[in-house]
Chains A and B, each alone.
Chain A
Amino acid sequence: EIVLTQSPATLSLSPGERATLSCRASQSVSSYLAWYQQKPGQAPRLLIYDASNRATGIPARFSGSGSGTDFTLTIRSLEPEDFAVYYCQQRGNWPLAFGQGTKVEIK
């Protein structure tokens, strides 16, 4: 069973700064990795799928990269609405799994 480890657990940044979130898989998931954003009291929102493809309607400031076991979500310049929890999710190996989340908070 694949374990996804996200780091850091919490990222404290100011609006306008660049955010870099990491997701590491315990074994290769090829490029089958997605990123979601979740705000308090809301459902998750798909941002990136297959490591680097932006989902419909997702702003260009969000980008994903990586393959195999190491993946990165980058938010180029944080907007106030980007402060949230971010989860990675793999579909490359059974069973499907999510990471534990990274909280991006306002510094």
Chain B
Amino acid sequence: EVQILESGGGLVQRGGSLRLSCVGSGFTFTKYAMSWVRQAPGKGLVWVSTISGDGRTTYDADSVKGRFTISRDNSKSTLYLQMNSLRADDTAVYYCAKVVLVPGPMWYFDNWGQGTLVTVSS
């Protein structure tokens, strides 16, 4: 059974930093690209970042480019999101999601963690 578990969320001041982690199990972690998707309270889903299975290629939404860094440690089946220069509008539940293996551009997400809440205080 695929399991995805995020951690690292919390309350941080505007301009501060936070690192999220996500451990995957029940699948061959290195075989799959992984992503972060966030959801502000009461709002919709927003894609944040994706990293290839080997960790060599990353993709970021414009809203986080230059501030957030996605990375992974395949030896630990762990995905990370380093978040710097945090703003109030970064407040959201951050989901870690496994990418579906289907041909074509970009990604869909077939397994999600329960999410971790990041609150940026102003």
Contacts and interface: CB of A to CB of B under 8 A. Distances in A.
B102 A96 contact: no
Interface string B25-52: 0000000000001000000111100000
Chain A interface secondary structure, helix, strand, loop or mixed?
A: loop
Given A46-B100, A96-B47, A98-B47, A91 B105 contact: yes
Nearest to A92: B105
A11 B11 CA distance: 35
B47 A46 contact: no
B108 A49 contact: yes
Interface centre among B61, B109, B113, B115 (most CB of A within 10 A): B109
Contact of B102 (A38, A49, A95): A49
A70 interface: no
Interface in A32-76: 32, 34, 36, 38, 42-46, 49-50, 55-56
A103 to B, nearest CB: 11
Contacts, number: 60
Contacts of A55: 100, 110
B112 A34 contact: no
A28 B70 CA distance: 29
Nearest to B4: A43
30 contacts: A32-B104, A34-B108, A36-B109, A38-B45, A42-B114, A43-B95, A43-B112, A43-B113, A43-B114, A43-B115, A44-B37, A45-B112, A46-B108, A49-B102, A50-B102, A87-B44, A89-B45, A89-B108, A91-B106, A91-B108, A92-B105, A94-B105, A96-B47, A97-B47, A98-B44, A98-B45, A98-B46, A99-B44, A100-B44, A101-B44
